[in-house]
Each structure stands twice: as structure tokens, then as C-alpha cells.
Amino acid sequence: MYSFAETELGKIHYRLQGPVSAPLCVCCHGFGDFLYNWAPFAAYLVNSGYQVLTFDLFGRGYSDCPEGDQDSDYFAHQIELLLKSIGKFDQKIGLIGHSMGGAIVMRYADIYPDAVNWLVLVAPAGLLSLTLVKFVRCCSLLRNLMISQQLTPENARKMWNKLMYQPDTHPELLDMIARYQLYQLEHNQNLRRAITSTVLHFPLGGAESLASIKRVGQHKRPVLFLWGKDDEIVPFNLYEQFATIFPQAQLVSFDKCGHIPMHEHQDKFHTEVVKFIGEHSPIAIPVEANEIGEEVN
């Protein structure tokens, strides 16, 4: 069941599920996604005995879109507000972030270093070259201006082809993504404004982002990276830079995999993440699916 947290900046759409006393895993989606992107993975975590929090970033899904520049501080503050609203701010958590969500959870860990037990970073943004950042911003803005004329179900599938190494082998996934994106565009009046603000203000790379990430790397908490070797959105070779900042980090890489390993290689992704989490946030005994409660605020 999904819920809304009423915060000082607006409503946040979220889902909190799993054993109430279990370690809490907070999942942060990427640039154009929303909480449904985590659904299969969240179910696996819950069935493994963990409590899981997924949510829509401001301006995405069913969350409000407060005024302000959508940079990393903007979204880190959103996580803070959500955790306070559901009474989880004072407990230690694990953070899982995909793409832009990876940069967001690293920023949260920079602001609240003692609140984060471990980090799972899935093809994280934050160290993209400034040249690439400028290119992405220009292309995204142009696409945003033309999107109302161009975005048909077929074009939506083409646009998301770059997410996967072999999109033709995942037609059901492409259809699902296209449907969700089209639904958002039709029903979420704030989406274009949110996407434009994020494109203009979010630090995908650069000195400020690097400085924040380096501070996170000075903390010796466990870190797991997961990355598709054929990622065309956030290239796999960026891991070399992250590895110098996080010398304690573990890496799980995926052959023949693009930007969404949680979907393209679902079984391996689930197994490796739960193995990592279990080493650092042990639970008592995994519970059966029908024994899992859902906490609703």
C-alpha cells in the first residue's frame, strides 16, 4: 500500500514495507524514474527480512514539486523530511541509489555521515565530465521543449532503448517503462518543470560534486558498486575514479548490461545486494512473504 508524507515542502509519495524492527533500506531512484522502478527489488529485500522505503523524488510520480533549484541538496533534504515524517530519522539506515539517485544518497551521506551504515551505488552519477554534463543539459532541454509533440508510445520506447544492452530481449520492460513515462507526462503537470530544473541545477559532475563525494569516501563505511559494462548513460570506466575515492568499496559488474542492471540481470543483482547488506546489517531470520507486515503512516 502506498502513502503520502505531509512535509513542510509538500507531499511525498512513498511506500514503507517489511518487518518494523528490521534494518531499514532506503532506495532512491534516478533522473526520470519513480518508486515503481524499485518494485521487484524492494519485494526481494522484504522477503529477505529487511524493511524497505521507496519514494518518488519531488516532481516525479505522485510527489509534489516544491519551488527551488533541484540540485543534490534539494533532494537530500527531501530524504531528511521523509524520514522525519515517518519517524525513522533517528535510526541508522542503509542507502541504495541508482544513477542520479546514487549522487543523491552520497550527498545525504555527506550531510549526515553518522546516520548511514552502508551505501549501495548503482551506476552512480556525480563524476561525469563537465563536457558531457553540458552536452546532456543542452540535449535534455531541447528534448524537453519538443517532447509534447514527439513523445508517442513508439518514440518513448526508442528513447529508452539506450538504457539496456539488448532492449529487444526485454520488450515487456520497455513497454512498462514507456507506459509509466507516458502516464507521468499525461497526468503529472509538474514533470516537465521538475526535469528542466534538475537538468539545469543538479551536479552530475564538477568540482563541487567531487569535493562532496571525496568527503563521503573519507568515511570507512562499507560501499558496494553495481555497474553494467555496456552502460551508455553513466559509463563503466567511471568506476576507476570512484575506486580511488572509495578504496574499501566492492564492485559487482555485469557483462552485456546497460544502465539498469536491477532489471537486465535481476537475479544476480538481487543476490549480490542482499549478500552485501547481510554482511553489514544482519537480520534475525528471513520471513515468509505472507508474514510480512506493511507499515502505513
Least confident range of 37-41, 79-83, 113-117: 37-41
Q: Is 296 a member of any domain? A: no
C-alpha pair distances (Å), 95 with each of 74, 75, 79, 107, 244: 17, 14, 10, 11, 21
Q: Is the pLDDT of residue 145 over 70?
A: no
Residues, the chain = 297
CATH number, residue 133: 3.40.50.1820
Query: Above pLDDT 90, what percent of the chain?
Result: 63
Residue 219 CB neighbour total at 10 angstroms: 15
Q: Is 297 a member of any domain? A: no
Query: What band does 87 get if pLDDT is binned at 50, 70 and 90?
Result: very high
Q: Is 209 a member of any domain? A: yes
Please name every residue paired with 228 in a beta bridge, in sequence order, or none if there are none: 254
pLDDT at res. 155: 62
Q: How far apart are CA 8 and CA 241, in angstroms?
A: 37
Q: Is 126 a member of any domain? A: yes
Q: How far apart are CA 131 and CA 86, in angstroms?
A: 40
Q: Tell me: the pLDDT tens digits for 179-207?
A: 777 777 676 778 778 888 888 888 888 88
Domain that holds residue 207: 3-291
* DSSP E strand stretches across the chain: 3-6, 11-17, 24-28, 51-55, 93-98, 116-122, 223-228, 250-254
**Closest listed residue to residue 111, CA positions, set 213, 29, 222:** 213
pLDDT at res. 43: 96
The C-alpha angle 34, 94, 41, rounded to 5 degrees, equals 45
Give the count of alpha carbons within 13 A of 154, CB side only: 1
Chain centroid, CA 197 distance in Å:
18
Average per-residue pLDDT for the chain: 86
| pTM score | 0.89
Task: Count up the domains in the chain and report the number.
Answer: 1
Q: Is 16 a member of any domain? A: yes
pLDDT at res. 291: 40
pLDDT (mean) for 241-262 = 96
Of residues 296 and 141, more confidence is placed in: 141
The DSSP 8-state label assigned to residue 285 in this structure reads S
pLDDT at res. 206: 83
Q: Is the pLDDT of residue 274 over 50?
A: yes
Q: Is the pLDDT of residue 148 over 60?
A: no
Per-position b or e across 233-272, b if 16+ CB within 10 A of its CB: bbbbebbeebeebbeebeebebeebbbbbbbbbeeebbeb
Q: Is 225 a member of any domain? A: yes
